[in-house]
Amino acid sequence: MSVNEVRVKRVDDSKKFQVKGTGPESNRTFAIGNEDHTLGNALRHILIQNSKVEFAGYSVPHPSEPIVHIRVQTHQPTTALQALQESCETLNSQCEYVLQQLEEKLPEVTADSIALQAKLAEMLEDDEEEGDEEDVCMEE
Amino acid sequence: MNVIENKDNDLVFELIGCDASFANALRRILLSEVPTVAIENVYMWNNTSIIHDEVLSHRLGLIPINVDARLFDPIEDGDDTTDQNTLVFQLQVKCPSRRQAAAKAKKATGDDSALTETEKSVLENTELDHAAFMAAKKEAIQTPGRPYTLHLYSRDLVWVPQGDQERRFPNGIRPVHDDILIAKLRPGQEIELEAHAMYGIGQDHAKYSPVATASYRLYINVEIVEPIYDEDAEELAHLYEPGVFEIIPAGVPGKRITVKVANPYACTMSRNYMRNPKLAKAIKMTRIPNHFIFSVESVGMHKPAVLVAEALKVLQKKCKDLIEVTKQQQEAF
């Protein structure tokens, strides 16, 4: 008996990233699959703080479809795609900064990641050993 | 970023100078996108208890399991279950019948003179129930008036290592809490089942959420615009916002005491103080829009700080994936 009968919908590969809109490359709508308000709102906020961006907005066209639309209009010569990429990089570095602060202030974060790496390495080693054993068997 | 409070499962920290959207993304990811492992499939072999199969499996699903989900592979629809993505638990309990229990009680105390020959032979052949009986006996002390009810707790789930799991998890795998009541059994009732726990995220089902709560509020700046003395000071410090203000000697001739802001974190932005017209004029409370007080309460498999770090990594992964596809798109043109 399955505890959870309904699983979250996932989009096919073709819908993971779509560019919508025509005309100059400064105006585009990006449809990003498997994302929601989490990324949409965060990116929109970063986009509107960029002086090269004329307009930025986001919407989730249908609540039961895991697709978020991000509309970007930029001042020439920046293209909408470039602006989007830039905003992703900004958000990424923002995360990096907070993560770094977190590691500084809370030692358990670093301790945990070291322990995890050790565990993963150990698992990898085990796998390799197993592989060796198999090879030996093959030779015999 | 500052840490305000860090206990076992609770973390309170400040995020200063960031957007609401960032704080909200972090909160949403903590709630629904940091993976954990929870029971997903339950194979019911026998259930004669009064709890229905569906309810029982739902209850099992909600038990937090103390294991690091990062060591597991996610499982997609149609994937086979392997030792890399599934944990197996077994639950086999039976509440002994009254007669058996009584006979065993006598046996346990060494006094089986009252038993008939048949009863003795029955007992000897049903040694398996001994542990269950001992548990029932223990329960009987804890639940007076219900001497024969067997309580089934999360600690009764037995982990069955598959493949190389025994080597990977030398300390065994247990639920986070041992004393979660799963079901109660009356004499003669039994539950036998196998439960498969899998990797998942909170978006799929709330049972996968690694946090009990993750929330943020805005920091409140408390200002004393006009000096407050004596009765008003006492009223403010003790009645309206306890813990926020501290009474200090006034230092002004003719006045006894005044207040200063001691701990703005305790402020709830209650407007009660405005009932006193003098205080209403003297105090100013404002929210700071880019100063967040974030509180994270872990369910127990990870430290809350680790969860926040994981959430940030999830957000980073989203960004990196998107950068990747935008680059592909650029190359296509």
**CA A93 from centroid of its chain's CA atoms:** 13
How many structural domains compose chain A? 1
Identify which of B314, B7, B21, B309 has the alpha carbon closest to the alpha carbon of residue A102.
Answer: B309
Q: How far apart are CA B317 and CA B211, in angstroms?
A: 20
Is residue B137 very low, low, confident or very high in pLDDT (cuts 50, 70, 90)? low
Per-residue DSSP letter, B240: I
Residues of A whose CB is below 8 A from B38: 3
pLDDT value at position B117? Answer: 54
Report the percent of chain B where pLDDT is more than 70.
Answer: 85
pLDDT at B115 over 90: no
Which chain B residue has the Cα nearest residue A49? B19
pLDDT value at position B166? Answer: 86
Identify which of A5, A30, A8 has the alpha carbon closest to the alpha carbon of residue A17.
Answer: A30
Determine which of A12-21, B19-28, B141-150 has the lowest per-residue pLDDT on average: B141-150
pLDDT value at position B109? Answer: 60
pLDDT value at position A95? Answer: 93
Q: Do A3 and B24 touch (CB under 8 A)?
A: no
Best of B73, B306, B308, B333 to disrupt the A interface by mutation (most A CBs within 10 Å)?
A: B306
**Dihedral sign, Cα of residue B24, residue B300, residue A125, residue B76:** negative
Q: How far apart are CA B183 and CA B57, in angstroms?
A: 11
pLDDT at B190 over 50: yes
Greatest mean pLDDT range, A50-64, B74-88, B128-142, B161-175: A50-64
Q: Do A112 and B306 touch (CB under 8 A)?
A: yes
How much is the average pLDDT of A82-96? Answer: 93
B7-34 pLDDT tens trace: 888 999 999 998 899 999 999 999 999 9
Determine which of A54-58, B96-100, B210-214 has the lowest per-residue pLDDT on average: B96-100
CB A39 within 8 Å of CB A23: no
Identify which of B302, B263, B141, B245 has the alpha carbon closest to the alpha carbon of residue A109.
Answer: B302
pLDDT at A134 over 50: no
pLDDT at B296 over 80: yes
Which chain A residue has the Cα nearest residue B208? A4
Specify whether domain B2-29+213-295 bears CATH 3.30.1360.10. yes
A93-120 pLDDT tens trace: 999 999 999 999 888 888 888 888 888 8
Best of A38, A47, A128 to disrupt the B interface by mutation (most B CBs within 10 Å)?
A: A38
Domain segments of chain B: what residues? 2-29+213-295, 37-71+85-99+139-208
Q: How far apart are CA B91 and CA B98, in angstroms?
A: 22
Residues of B whose CB is below 8 A from A96: 316
CB A94 within 8 Å of CB B22: yes
How much is the average pLDDT of B34-62? Answer: 92
For Cα atoms B18, B23, B27, give the angle at the middle one, nearest 5 degrees. 165
How much is the average pLDDT of B88-116? Answer: 69
B202-238 pLDDT tens trace: 888 889 999 999 999 999 999 889 888 888 888 888 8
Query: Residue B168, SS3?
Result: helix
pLDDT value at position A8? Answer: 73
pLDDT at B134 over 80: no
Q: How far apart are CA A2 and CA B54, in angstroms?
A: 9
Is residue B116 very low, low, confident or very high in pLDDT (cuts 50, 70, 90)? very low
Q: Do A94 and B327 touch (CB under 8 A)?
A: no
CB B189 within 8 Å of CB B161: no
**Chain A closest-CA separation from residue B266 CA (Å):** 22
How much is the average pLDDT of B285-302? Answer: 92
pLDDT value at position B95? Answer: 83
Q: Which domain holds residue A56?
A: 13-104
**Summary mean pLDDT of chain B:** 84
Q: How far apart are CA B201 and CA A7, in angstroms?
A: 10
pLDDT at B91 over 50: yes
Its ipTM equals 0.86
**Chain B closest-CA separation from residue A139 CA (Å):** 24
CB atoms closer than 10 angstroms to residue B259: 23
Structure tokens at B81: 């279950």
pLDDT value at position B96? Answer: 79
CATH number of the domain residue A98 falls in: 3.30.1360.10
- A124 found inside a domain: no
Greatest mean pLDDT range, A12-26, A68-82, B231-245: A68-82
Give the residue, A93 or B102, on which the prediction is more confident. A93
Best of B42, B54, B312, B314 to disrupt the A interface by mutation (most A CBs within 10 Å)?
A: B312
pLDDT at A83 over 90: yes
Q: How far apart are CA B64 and CA B209, in angstroms?
A: 9
Q: Do A98 and B15 touch (CB under 8 A)?
A: yes
**Chain B closest-CA separation from residue A140 CA (Å):** 24
For Cα atoms B9, B11, B15, give the angle at the middle one, nearest 5 degrees. 160
CATH superfamily placement of domain B37-71+85-99+139-208: DNA-directed RNA polymerase, insert domain (2.170.120.12)
Q: Do A85 and B327 touch (CB under 8 A)?
A: yes
Q: What are phi and psi of B297, to 5 degrees?
A: -120, 115
Is residue A129 very low, low, confident or very high in pLDDT (cuts 50, 70, 90)? low
**Summary mean pLDDT of chain A:** 85
Is residue B251 very low, low, confident or very high in pLDDT (cuts 50, 70, 90)? confident
Q: Tell me the CB-side half-sphere exposure of residue B197, using CA atoms within 13 A.
A: 31
Greatest mean pLDDT range, A7-21, A76-90, B66-80, B133-147: A76-90
